[in-house]
Amino acid sequence: MQKLLKLLLVTLLFCFYTFTSPVKAADTTNGEQLFKVHCAGCHMNGGNIVRRGKNLHKKALKKYGMDSLEAVESITANGKNNMSAYKDRLSVQEIQDVAAYVLEQAEKGWR
């Protein structure tokens, strides 16, 4: 009986934790603000002032394998070549917000 009660308690705690602590969804409004502050200097309107072909438009993102949230989050956090890393300046949630904003804008053609 005690084992059953312990199992029930563990199950209830797991369910409570799982359903009351959801991962926050990306906030593209926040992503837009962060992009303006941290990214627009090099990526105005989805462009790239350093390497024109490696921009944030849908075609280029797809060509370079950067057309997923995971890929955009990774390069935003860790940087690559001339791209600075932002993991020490932005939180994980902020990086997710920026990535979601970038992909949303790429879908819209940066309009």
Token pair listed for 10: 């563990």
In a domain, 89, yes or no: yes
In a domain, 1, yes or no: no
Domain containing 93 equals 27-108
Q: What is the per-residue pLDDT across 27-37, written as a single tens digit (0 to 9) for each?
A: 999 999 999 99
Count structural domains, the chain.
1
Q: What is the per-residue pLDDT across 95-110, written as a single tens digit (0 to 9) for each?
A: 999 999 999 999 999 9
**Total Cβ atoms within 10 A of residue 46:** 21
CATH code assigned at 92: 1.10.760.10
**How much is the pLDDT for 57?**
98
**How far apart, in whole angstroms, are the C-alpha atoms of residue 30 and residue 71?**
19
In a domain, 22, yes or no: no
Q: What is the per-residue pLDDT across 74-87, written as a single tens digit (0 to 9) for each?
A: 999 999 999 999 99
Q: What is the per-residue pLDDT across 10-46, written as a single tens digit (0 to 9) for each?
A: 555 555 544 443 446 899 999 999 999 999 999 999 9
In a domain, 9, yes or no: no
Q: Give Dmax (Cα) for the chain.
A: 68
